[in-house]
Amino acid sequence: MKKGVAQDATFITADPDSSSKPRGEDAMTRRSRDGDWAKRKGGSVFGYKLHVKSDLDHGLVRELETMPASVHDSRVDLSKPGEVVYGDKGYFGVKPRGYGATMRRGVRSHPAGIRDRMRNGRISRRRAPIERTFSILKRVFNASHILVTVVSRVRVKMVFACVSFNLHRMSTLARAR
């Protein structure tokens, strides 16, 4: 991991509880018990968030964490001491355990300056491969919508999806040699 790691998060949608009648713990339903609502680009999303740390050398998923969708990105730090961590604006204002190369954003009455925008462009080019990781996880391994009801089961499904992604990525790397 000489080039560093990129950390990012994506939403995993789930079926919301739309019934008005109370459910017990033994209810046999697909409606999520642990999922939560979050705002995104003017809309609302129900489900979970998958946080991933991927190395920039090979594009392999190194660590992952699943949370309800309402947990903010800044609450999850997958970095280790000594790592160069590239993060998007969602991680702004949080001190990572490693060396932080997090994109900066404007705050109240202090818009991002030209240096910050140029810095964000350089960081964005470095962390672009993690977006491909998410697109493959969602489109090839069908990890965009989940039918399980609790966070622990979502984590197991995401672990299997990420292991499958890593095997797919390693076969691609072996063919490139």
Report CA 7 to chain centroid distance, whole Å. Answer: 7
| The pLDDT value given to residue 168 | 94
Residue the block writes with tokens 């050398």: 57
Q: Is residue 153 part of a domain?
A: yes
The overall longest dimension of the chain from CA atoms, in Å, is: 58
**Count of all residues that appear for the chain in the document:** 177
| The pLDDT value given to residue 94 | 73
User: pLDDT tens digits for 81-97?
Assistant: 888 888 887 777 777 77
| The pLDDT value given to residue 164 | 95
Report CA 161 to chain centroid distance, whole Å. Answer: 13
Average pLDDT over residues 107-134: 86
Helix (DSSP H) and strand (DSSP E) numbers for the chain: 3, 6
The domain of 40 spans 5-17+28-176
| The pLDDT value given to residue 119 | 84
User: pLDDT tens digits for 15-72?
Assistant: 876 655 555 566 655 567 788 889 888 888 899 999 999 998 899 999 999 999 998 8
Q: Is residue 23 part of a domain?
A: no
Q: Is residue 22 part of a domain?
A: no
5: enclosing H helix or E strand: strand 5-13
Determine the Cα–Cα distance for residues 43 and 4; give it in Å rounded to an integer: 33
Smallest CA-to-CA distance from 137 within 50, 39, 55, 77 is with 50
Q: Is residue 72 part of a domain?
A: yes
Checking if the pLDDT of 110 tops 90, the result is: no
Token pair for 152: 């622990």
Checking if the pLDDT of 1 tops 60, the result is: no
* pTM metric for this prediction: 0.84
Tally of domains in the chain: 1
What one-character DSSP code corresponds to residue 81? T
- Average pLDDT over the chain reads 85
Burial 86-95 (b: 16+ CB within 10 A, else e): bbbbbbbeee
